[in-house]
Structure 1
Amino acid sequence: MLSNYPLSKVENQFLKESGTPTITTLIPYLTVDNFPKLGLLTACRFLEWAAQNPEGVISLPTGKTPEFFIKWTKFLLENWDSPKGKEIRKKYDMMDVKKPELSGLHFVQIDEFYPISSTQKNSFFHYVNNYYIEGFGLDPKKALLINSDEIPLADNLSFKEVFPNLTVDLSLRFREPTTQLEQLQQTSIYLIDKWCGEYEQKIRDKGGIGFFLGGIGPDGHIAFNTRGSHIYSVTRLTETNFETQAVAAGDLGGIEISANRLVITIGLDTIVYNPDAVAIIIAAGEAKAPIVKNSLEIPMDNLYPATVLQKLKNGRFYVTKGAASKLEDSVDNFYKSGPWTIEKTEKAIIDLCKKLKTYGHRLKLEDLKNDKYTSLIPNLSEDTVKEIMERVVDKLNRGTTKEKNEVLLHTGPHHDDISLGILPHVTNQLQENSNQAHFSVLTSGFTAVTNSFVINTLNETKNLLDQGRIQMVNFEDFFQIGYKLKMDKDVYHYLTNVASEQPEQRLRGLCHRVVRALVGIYKIESVTALREKINDVISILRNSYDGEKNPATIQKLKGMIREFEEELVWAHFGVQVKNVHHLRLGFYTGDIFTEQPDKDRDVEPIVDLFRKINPTKISLTLDPEGSGPDTHYKVLQATAEAVRKWGKEKDLSNLRIIGYRNVWFKFEPHEANVIVPVSLGDIAVMEDSFANCYLSQVNASFPSYAHNGKFSTIAKRTWVNQLNDIQLLLGKNYFYLHETAKVRSSHGLIFFKDMDVEEFLEHARELEKSIEGML
């Protein structure tokens, strides 16, 4: 199977565990069940290599991707001979591996933003020093790092003097400078280029990188070698593309900054210079599946930078099953392993419709027999397609059934998750008066609010105070109790001015809520103190670097802005503020690696909410791989534990769990058991409410790599694409000739999974198992 690519002992054990029967890709790969397990695999392989190469050269990634690699590496080093450590080492054939001493290793930093101060906590220089040099006990004298403050520039000036707006114009490499400043900048760019060449030579003088670990971007970039980078590229100062900028926006405080920041990166040829190098790319989640497929199955091509690993006998991809899901091997394995299921039949037929670009009722038995996968369907007959069509119609019927007398608790990890995931379904539920609806966002969500948005809002608040247009501050008891009252009035005032198209008055509604938040957070007792505090917060934010972690009080202020936005959305449907619950779970801290949920701090508030509301249905985002934003799977863990705990107090046999996905993850039709029609009106409500209520998100400072704009646009496209898949199976006439107006008006579809408690807990349990014992 892999005769040309000898695997290490660790890799062999993980290969056996994965159950992958055949690997035919141009670069070998290993699959694991979820994101935390990916970290364990990578940590075991790294420590195995380090034990064999105590003075080797390593290059390790930054950002959120290596979270569990770092945690598992530290855990194993600290627990090498503990019962848990021995259990892991025995399981993965590491009992004869001597505990490695990492201080002899030589470290090479992969990349860095330019320019960025090395003292900033969001610089990769700081990350490397914190998590690798100090965290792994490496020798700083043996580290080759990228420190922007130390790269020589013209006249020995600092980068802030040469590039005062922190923007580097690379056209100066090829054109004449027009000002004295541009002359300095041109000379400096040439000096940076020289420094990059010297950095490359230092790596090669060490014999090249012996162990490389990197993530892969949505466009296929490794390090900052974006799509189209030369296969023989070396260390250089370069621009990035939108997908890379979108991914970096979280580090730098918004796309506004990352779009204008250059990078220094090692090249593709740097990575593969050492022919004996172990080079590993890790990828998690179905969103990475297309680029993983192209990177592994296409011959070496600069459109897919990771294909350069084909040069290495020890080049590898370590991926979750979701990330591997589009590989031909994985698709084969899906169909050929285990018993045949109705879900396999459904997937095979829908995929055949897409492959042949034909409607389900036009598929012939001959088409099914000639296809690689539909030919495997047991008892294949003329009725097979009809049976699947009926199955999908049943899912649609479930999605149009009117729910009554339900107590609904819709939850989301972040603000806007519920709206982007299942708003049309929620709208249907809210139209029935016998239903009682509650909404809860489980984290504060402050990281999605930029400093500039808060500064602008506070300046407007100060102007309104000066004009006497925030009259509530003059009420006698406002600073004692009044600031806590009439929250619904703020919401109503805001939405009234959305309707009357008065943006200034709408903004005034936001400023009212900001005043209430400031008084509550800072215990303000007078108008004078309020003005002073507004000035203080503005000053702190203006003196913060982009992407800097805010003080806890400002985090809370940002979070309360997001909470107000969430209340506005549900007030569209008459939901009162008291039915929108803000849990602010404590694991959400704004650090690059947030803590695992704590059973007392993070689980008990959810259980209390269950007790208070006594829901009959709970919705939540379903990310069983743990491969998306870490908030998603940590909220999933906390919610699952809360359900378990609540289940010890009462009978939950009638409780239903609704697992939905939104812009980060998508259900395949065969994975969902409920399909909800979405009308143009539903889409308009979702887009309008997003644009009018989520003010901090409209400018899309932290966009998806898939779209340079609002997340609501991605949600709409997802719903429309899901309709296209089902229309291919059922035919368009099924929809526009349907007896039900709701189905006739379908221009999109929502997929979700309706589960009982045991089924839900089984999804969560698999993720939990991969973290047990580490933390």
Structure 2
Amino acid sequence: MTEIASTAPHGTIPTDDESRKFEKIPTRIYDNSDTASFQVATEISQLIRQRQKQGKKAVIGLATGSTPTKVYDFLVQFHREEGLSFKNVVTFNLDEYYPMQPDSIHSYVRFMNEHLFDHIDIKKENVHIPDGQLDKEDVRDFCRDYEEQIRKAGGLDIQVLGIGRTGHIGFNEPGSSLKSVTRMVRLDRVTRLDAASDFFGLENVPTKAITMGVGTIMKARRIVLMAWGEGKAGIIRQAVEGKIRESVPATFLQHHPNCEVIVDQAAGSALTRMATPWLVSECEWNDALIKRAVLWLSEKLDIAILKLTNEHYNEYGMGNLVAEIGSAEHINLQVFNALQRTITGWPGGKPNADDSNRPERREPYPKRSLIFSPHPDDDVISMGGTLLRLVDQGHEVHVAYQTSGNIAVFDDEVIRFLDFATDVQKDNQALMQQFKEVREFLANKEPGAVDSREIQEFKGLIRKGEALAACRYCGVDEANAHFQNLPFYETGTVKKKPHSEADIQITYDLLQQIKPHQIFAAGDLSDPHGTHRVCLQIIFQALERLKQEGAEWLSDCYVWLYRGAWQEWDIADMEMAVPIGPKDMERKKNAIFKHQSQKDSAMFPGNDEREFWQRAEQRNKETARKYNALGMAEYEAMEGFVRYHFM
């Protein structure tokens, strides 16, 4: 997939050693997580082969979670296609929840078997994972023995790490010491919140875990820490550039003589050389980088763009920019005008108006607008104000709900709807029996267990009904609501299947059916569960196929990317900003309220415990505030978009 508009600046930025002077751990930034994972897997495979030639074992420390899964996929591929053998490999996993049965769907034993061990020829006796089913009084001895087994194996040749939002490595939470060893720990609330979606609720997440200590990790001869996505950008910057402190355990890695951080563009976007390259060395300026630098300077000094002076530019490493352009006034006006042109109250284009400086063209009018919504509420949460504006201005608005969103419905919601249906259909014996079986299943269901196909369908219907209610409220014709139910999503668990030809074909067919003049899609790559990212890949691949086939309507189609409940675009990246007045902000919130199953308490809140309408309102108002602080007009709220160029 083409990576789009991360917070990394566009243009030519320095890549020499001078640009990395703020980085205390060597860091490599790759275009995407697949490429980065391939490089890590290749390094591990080379270590294994080298040890094989020497007649020695390769001792590898492994991590769990979403970050290393692609690395494991590549290792399995190397085994199947290149004959890479793991018979000389000894592994030690970082951690395990406590208590935890090894056959639980949440167990790291099961995770490792499903992602790696069941697909390679590693010897079972060479696999070591902390035991989550021990009696509490046996844990201390087990941890001591775990350390001894690592020592007897010759120590870790390489330790693979992810990083948590608190900066934890393994389950070494803030406060862990540099000399800590394998032990039982109590999990931080933030860590448990981040895991809540996997356990279908915070109340189901264990409060304890067994983990290798920081000291154990630091003894590895080589450490590779990986991170993907914008959600990790801030903590990566702290780990790589910040001071060493116990409150961010990953900063201890700065002490290690052979540690490397591997990130994709999004996770590395907050590093100084990426976010503000003018602070590390001279840049080759282009319009996009100039805009980013000027907006950063304006915000840094809390001064409107048109008030910046030559002295301000010189003080913050942009003297060469002034020398190239000529004066601060000239630079200020260039950026001010560019920013002002992103603001439009006509997201479908303003008919009979000069559109030379508008983000959307005036013709054709009215337009066919197709909004892709990964989940049944992303449309109104992320761009509800713009959706309402498109409808009000007479455009033909379609909404494609890409997934059913069924796993985000609480069991109680199913019972509530069954109660209603039971009262209506008292004489339908077959239906009553079906409802009885559903109630029994839910009553005996273990926390986090997969729903039956029947219950998954019920939950999907609940979310479909809510989406239709929101469409009616917004004025979208029900016939223009398209429920795609993409197959990759329908697993009944948080973990999804890789997207397939079937997903692309469904999207391709809808695009060919509607032939939209403008497409709105979720570019929110910070979605913690990855659904938004996969949905965007599917859209891009369908568009690429249409492009290769020469679909004529594509030449007259704009693609706009919005962001959802997790993170907003940087102002420097926004190419269209749609103001939302107080009345439309209330209408947007009312549209979000139609999604009752997500109201009050969402199944998957991510790292923000506020309701989705609160996040959306705050984010939209903050965007307006930032525009105003830069010297633009003052609006109640704004929604931002980035244009994706595929032609």
Shorter-chain TM-score: what band?
0.7 to 0.9
1:636 to 532, 536, 553: 536
Aligned partner of 2:127 in structure 1 is: 143
Aligned mates of 1:19, 1:70 — CA distance in 2:
33
- Is 1:49 the counterpart of 2:44? The answer is no
Using the TM superposition, give the Cα deviation of residue 370 of structure 1 relative to its aligned residue in structure 2, in angstroms: 2.3
Aligned mates of 1:292, 1:69 — CA distance in 2:
19
Aligned partner of 1:565 in structure 2 is: 466
Aligned mates of 2:588, 2:131 — CA distance in 1:
45
- Contact between 1:405 and 1:436, CA under 8 Å: does it hold in 2? yes
- Contact between 1:224 and 1:240, CA under 8 Å: does it hold in 2? yes
Aligned partner of 2:165 in structure 1 is: 218
Using the TM superposition, give the Cα deviation of residue 41 of structure 1 relative to its aligned residue in structure 2, in angstroms: 1.7
Q: What is the aligned length?
A: 608
Aligned partner of 1:265 in structure 2 is: 211
Aligned partner of 2:406 in structure 1 is: 446
- Is 1:208 the counterpart of 2:155? The answer is yes
Aligned partner of 2:416 in structure 1 is: 460
Aligned partner of 2:354 in structure 1 is: none
Aligned partner of 1:115 in structure 2 is: 99
Which SS does the other structure have where 1:295 is aligned? helix
Question: Which amino acid letter does the alignment assign opposite residue 423 of structure 1?
Answer: G
Q: Flag the 1:42–1:549 CA change in 2: closer, same or farther, 3 A.
A: farther
- Is 1:586 the counterpart of 2:487? The answer is yes
Aligned mates of 1:533, 1:607 — CA distance in 2:
37
Q: Flag the 1:371–1:380 CA change in 2: closer, same or farther, 3 A.
A: farther
Aligned mates of 2:415, 2:296 — CA distance in 1:
54
Q: Flag the 1:459–1:328 CA change in 2: closer, same or farther, 3 A.
A: closer
Using the TM superposition, give the Cα deviation of residue 620 of structure 1 relative to its aligned residue in structure 2, in angstroms: 0.5
Aligned mates of 1:269, 1:204 — CA distance in 2:
13
Aligned mates of 1:292, 1:65 — CA distance in 2:
14
Using the TM superposition, give the Cα deviation of residue 757 of structure 1 relative to its aligned residue in structure 2, in angstroms: 4.0
- Contact between 2:620 and 2:639, CA under 8 Å: does it hold in 1? yes
Question: Which amino acid letter does the alignment assign opposite residue 145 of structure 2?
Answer: E
Using the TM superposition, give the Cα deviation of residue 663 of structure 1 relative to its aligned residue in structure 2, in angstroms: 2.6
CA distances 1:321-372 after superposition (whole Å, capped 9, x unpaired): 2211121222455897885221111111111112112222322222122221
Aligned partner of 2:3 in structure 1 is: none
Aligned partner of 2:570 in structure 1 is: 668
How many percent of aligned residue pairs carry the same amino acid?
23
Aligned partner of 1:322 in structure 2 is: 266
CA distances 1:561-594 after superposition (whole Å, capped 9, x unpaired): 2222222222212324322111011122336653
Q: Flag the 1:443–1:141 CA change in 2: closer, same or farther, 3 A.
A: same
Aligned partner of 2:60 in structure 1 is: 58
Greater share of residues in helix? 1
CA distances 1:68-105 after superposition (whole Å, capped 9, x unpaired): 2122222233233xxxxxxxxxxxxxxxxxx6531221
- Is 1:653 the counterpart of 2:555? The answer is yes
Which SS does the other structure have where 1:293 is aligned? helix
Using the TM superposition, give the Cα deviation of residue 306 of structure 1 relative to its aligned residue in structure 2, in angstroms: 1.0
Aligned partner of 2:235 in structure 1 is: 291
- Is 1:352 the counterpart of 2:303? The answer is no
Using the TM superposition, give the Cα deviation of residue 261 of structure 1 relative to its aligned residue in structure 2, in angstroms: 3.1
- Is 1:20 the counterpart of 2:15? The answer is yes
Question: Which amino acid letter does the alignment assign opposite residue 296 of structure 2?
Answer: D
Which SS does the other structure have where 2:636 is aligned? strand
Aligned partner of 2:255 in structure 1 is: 311
Aligned mates of 2:379, 2:531 — CA distance in 1:
14
Q: 1:749-768, aligned counterparts within 5 Å?
A: 749-758=638-647
Aligned mates of 1:645, 1:636 — CA distance in 2:
14
Aligned mates of 2:415, 2:344 — CA distance in 1:
51
Aligned partner of 2:357 in structure 1 is: none
Question: Which amino acid letter does the alignment assign opposite residue 664 of structure 1?
Answer: W
Structure having the higher Rg:
1
Using the TM superposition, give the Cα deviation of residue 398 of structure 1 relative to its aligned residue in structure 2, in angstroms: 6.5
- Contact between 2:276 and 2:293, CA under 8 Å: does it hold in 1? no
Aligned mates of 1:310, 1:342 — CA distance in 2:
36
Q: Flag the 1:563–1:464 CA change in 2: closer, same or farther, 3 A.
A: closer
Q: 1:406-417, aligned counterparts within 5 Å?
A: 406-417=367-378
Using the TM superposition, give the Cα deviation of residue 692 of structure 1 relative to its aligned residue in structure 2, in angstroms: 4.2
- Is 1:376 the counterpart of 2:321? The answer is yes
CA distances 1:617-673 after superposition (whole Å, capped 9, x unpaired): 1111126x7986432232222212322334434332111111111233432222221
Aligned partner of 2:144 in structure 1 is: 197
Question: Which amino acid letter does the alignment assign opposite residue 487 of structure 2?
Answer: G
- Is 1:74 the counterpart of 2:76? The answer is yes
Aligned mates of 2:375, 2:140 — CA distance in 1:
42
Q: 1:153-232, aligned counterparts within 5 Å?
A: 153=135, 188=136, 190-232=137-179
Aligned partner of 1:125 in structure 2 is: 109
Aligned mates of 1:605, 1:78 — CA distance in 2:
32
Aligned partner of 1:492 in structure 2 is: none
Using the TM superposition, give the Cα deviation of residue 111 of structure 1 relative to its aligned residue in structure 2, in angstroms: 1.4
Question: Which amino acid letter does the alignment assign opposite residue 123 of structure 2?
Answer: D
Q: Flag the 1:554–1:209 CA change in 2: closer, same or farther, 3 A.
A: farther
Which SS does the other structure have where 1:428 is aligned? helix
Using the TM superposition, give the Cα deviation of residue 230 of structure 1 relative to its aligned residue in structure 2, in angstroms: 2.3
| TM-score relative to the length of structure 2 | 0.87
Question: Which amino acid letter does the alignment assign opposite residue 226 of structure 1?
Answer: E
Q: Flag the 1:431–1:398 CA change in 2: closer, same or farther, 3 A.
A: closer
- Contact between 1:704 and 1:711, CA under 8 Å: does it hold in 2? no
Q: Which runs of 5+ in 1 are unaligned?
A: 1-17, 81-98, 154-187, 475-525, 736-745, 759-775
Which SS does the other structure have where 2:198 is aligned? helix
Aligned partner of 1:367 in structure 2 is: 312
Using the TM superposition, give the Cα deviation of residue 752 of structure 1 relative to its aligned residue in structure 2, in angstroms: 0.5
Using the TM superposition, give the Cα deviation of residue 45 of structure 1 relative to its aligned residue in structure 2, in angstroms: 1.6
Aligned partner of 1:508 in structure 2 is: none
Which SS does the other structure have where 1:669 is aligned? coil
Aligned mates of 1:143, 1:607 — CA distance in 2:
45
Question: Which amino acid letter does the alignment assign opposite residue 416 of structure 2?
Answer: E
Which SS does the other structure have where 2:196 is aligned? helix
- Is 1:681 the counterpart of 2:637? The answer is no
Which SS does the other structure have where 1:79 is aligned? helix
Aligned partner of 2:506 in structure 1 is: 605
- Contact between 2:515 and 2:553, CA under 8 Å: does it hold in 1? no
| TM-score relative to the length of structure 1 | 0.74
Using the TM superposition, give the Cα deviation of residue 20 of structure 1 relative to its aligned residue in structure 2, in angstroms: 3.5
Question: Which amino acid letter does the alignment assign opposite residue 355 of structure 1?
Answer: K
Which SS does the other structure have where 1:690 is aligned? helix
Aligned mates of 1:243, 1:682 — CA distance in 2:
34
Q: Flag the 1:299–1:626 CA change in 2: closer, same or farther, 3 A.
A: closer
Aligned mates of 1:581, 1:137 — CA distance in 2:
46
- Contact between 1:399 and 1:674, CA under 8 Å: does it hold in 2? no
Using the TM superposition, give the Cα deviation of residue 428 of structure 1 relative to its aligned residue in structure 2, in angstroms: 0.8
Which SS does the other structure have where 1:587 is aligned? helix
Which SS does the other structure have where 2:554 is aligned? coil
CA distances 1:359-394 after superposition (whole Å, capped 9, x unpaired): 223222221222214643531412211221111111
Aligned mates of 2:473, 2:297 — CA distance in 1:
41
Aligned mates of 2:546, 2:534 — CA distance in 1:
18
- Contact between 1:213 and 1:281, CA under 8 Å: does it hold in 2? yes
Q: Flag the 1:751–1:399 CA change in 2: closer, same or farther, 3 A.
A: farther
Q: Which runs of 5+ in 2 are unaligned?
A: 1-12, 352-364
- Contact between 1:27 and 1:317, CA under 8 Å: does it hold in 2? yes
- Contact between 1:59 and 1:108, CA under 8 Å: does it hold in 2? yes
Q: Flag the 1:268–1:430 CA change in 2: closer, same or farther, 3 A.
A: same
